[in-house]
Amino acid sequence: MTPIEFLKGVGPNRADLLKKEIGIHTFQDLLYYFPFRYVDRSVFNQIAEIPELNMPVQLKGRITGMREEGVGRRKRLVANFQDTSGMIQLVWFKGAQWIKKAIKINDTIVVYGKAARFANKWNIPHPEMTPIQQHETGLQPVYPSTEKLTASRLDSKGLHKLQLALKEQMPIQFEDWLPDTILKENKLASRNQAMQWVHFPKTPEQAEAAKLRLKFEELLLLQLELLVRKKIALTKSEGFVYDKVGSNFNTFYEKHLPFELTGAQKRVLKEIRSDMTTGNHMNRLLQGDVGSGKTLVALLTMLLALDNGFQAALMAPTEILAIQHFESLKEFLKGMEINIGLLTGSTKQKDRRVLHEALQNGEMQLLIGTHALLEDTVQFKNLGLVVIDEQHRFGVAQRAKMWRKNTTPPHVLIMTATPIPRTLAMTFYGDLDVSVIDELPPGRKPITTVHRKDEQRLRVFGFMKEEITKGRQVYIVYPLIHESEKLDYNNLMEGYEAIQRAFPLPEYRVSIVHGQQKPADKEFEMNRFVRGETQIMVATTVIEVGVNVPNASVMIIESAERFGLSQLHQLRGRVGRGAEKSYCILMTGDKISPDSKKRMNTMVRTNDGFEIAEVDLQLRGPGDLMGTQQSGVLDLKIANLARDGHLVALARKVATDVLQADPNLEQEENAGLRSQLVHALKSRPDWGKIA
Ligand code: ADP
Ligand code: MG
Model pLDDT, residue 685: 58
- 456-500 pLDDT, tens digit per residue, is 999 999 999 999 999 999 999 998 755 556 777 888 899 999 999
Highest averaged pLDDT of the listed ranges 533-547, 556-570, 677-691 = 556-570
Q: Ligand 1 pocket, 441 CB below 6 A?
A: yes
Burial annotation 593-631 (CB, 10 A radius, 16+ → b, else e)? eeebeebbebbeeebebeebbbbbbebbebbebbeeebb
Is the confidence at residue 244, as pLDDT, over 90?
Answer: no
Q: Ligand 1 pocket, 292 CB below 6 A?
A: yes
Model pLDDT, residue 671: 94
Distance CA 486, CA 619 (A): 28
Planar angle of CA 374, 380, 383, nearest 5 degrees:
90
Model pLDDT, residue 654: 95
Is the confidence at residue 628, as pLDDT, over 50?
Answer: no
- 171-199 pLDDT, tens digit per residue, is 778 889 999 999 999 999 999 999 999 99
Is the confidence at residue 686, as pLDDT, over 70?
Answer: no
For ligand 2, the distance from its centroid to the CA atom of residue 288, given in whole angstroms, is 9
257, 261, 296: residue to mutate for ligand 1 pocket, most atoms within 8 A of CB? 296
Identify the CATH class of 448-606.
alpha beta
Confidence of residue 256 (pLDDT cuts 50, 70, 90): very high
Distance CA 656, CA 212 (A): 20
Is the confidence at residue 669, as pLDDT, over 90?
Answer: yes
Model pLDDT, residue 247: 92
Confidence of residue 632 (pLDDT cuts 50, 70, 90): very low
Pairing mode, if any, of strands 56-69 and 76-82? Answer: antiparallel
Whose CA is closest to atom 5 on ligand 1? Answer: 293
In order of 38, 51, 79, the CA distances from 116 in angstroms are: 21, 11, 15
Q: Residues 43-136: name the CATH superfamily.
A: Nucleic acid-binding proteins (2.40.50.140)
Higher pLDDT, 308 or 284: 308
Is the confidence at residue 409, as pLDDT, over 60?
Answer: yes
Mean pLDDT of 642-670: 90
Mean pLDDT of 97-106: 88
- Give the ligand at the shortest distance from the Cα of 292: 1
For ligand 1, the distance from its centroid to the CA atom of residue 541, given in whole angstroms, is 21
Using a 10 angstrom Cβ sphere, with 0-12 exposed, 13-18 middle and 19 or more buried, the burial of residue 119 is exposed
Is the confidence at residue 542, as pLDDT, over 50?
Answer: yes
Atom of ligand 1 nearest to the CA of 294: 2
Confidence of residue 599 (pLDDT cuts 50, 70, 90): very high
Q: Ligand 1 pocket, 226 CB below 6 A?
A: no
Q: What are the residues facing 284 on neighbouring strands?
A: 413, 433
Model pLDDT, residue 633: 46
Whose CA is closest to atom 1 on ligand 1? Answer: 291
Pairing mode, if any, of strands 583-588 and 552-557? Answer: parallel
Is the confidence at residue 501, as pLDDT, over 90?
Answer: yes
DSSP string, 452-472: EEGGGHHHHHHHHHHHHHTT-
Q: Ligand 1 pocket, 295 CB below 6 A?
A: yes
Model pLDDT, residue 629: 37
Whose CA is closest to atom 25 on ligand 1? Answer: 441
For ligand 1, the distance from its centroid to the CA atom of residue 262, given in whole angstroms, is 10
- DSSP H helices, 282-414, are 294-307, 319-332, 349-360, 396-402
Q: Ligand 1 pocket, 328 CB below 6 A?
A: no
> 3-state class of 430 per DSSP?
coil
Q: Tell me the domain boundaries of the chain.
A: 43-136, 448-606
Whose CA is closest to atom 9 on ligand 1? Answer: 293
Percent of the chain with pLDDT over 90: 52
Ligand 2 (single-atom ion) residues, CB below 5 Å:
546
In order of 14, 125, 288, 627, the CA distances from 547 in angstroms are: 56, 51, 16, 24
Using a 10 angstrom Cβ sphere, with 0-12 exposed, 13-18 middle and 19 or more buried, the burial of residue 376 is exposed
Amino acid identity, position 202: K
Atom of ligand 1 nearest to the CA of 550: 14
Q: What angle, 0 to 180 degrees and rounded to 10, lies between the N-to-C axes of helices 565-572 and 609-626? A: 130
Confidence of residue 79 (pLDDT cuts 50, 70, 90): very high
- Give the ligand at the shortest distance from the Cα of 573: 1
Distance CA 519, CA 517 (A): 6
Q: Ligand 1 pocket, 572 CB below 6 A?
A: no
Element housing 636 (H / E): none
Is the confidence at residue 626, as pLDDT, over 70?
Answer: no
Higher pLDDT, 523 or 106: 106
- 14-56 pLDDT, tens digit per residue, is 999 999 999 999 999 999 999 988 888 888 999 988 877 777 8
- 396-408 pLDDT, tens digit per residue, is 556 666 667 777 8
- 290-310 pLDDT, tens digit per residue, is 788 999 999 999 999 999 999
Q: Ligand 1 pocket, 417 CB below 6 A?
A: yes
Mean pLDDT of 103-108: 92
Whose CA is closest to atom 23 on ligand 1? Answer: 261
Distance CA 641, CA 427 (A): 9
| Same fold for the pair 43-136 and 448-606 | no
Nearest one of 286, 331, 304, 348 to 548, comparing CA atoms = 331
Mean pLDDT estimate for the chain? 87
**What single-letter DSSP state applies at residue 282?**
P
Distance CA 498, CA 506 (A): 16
Q: Ligand 1 pocket, 418 CB below 6 A?
A: no
Model pLDDT, residue 397: 57
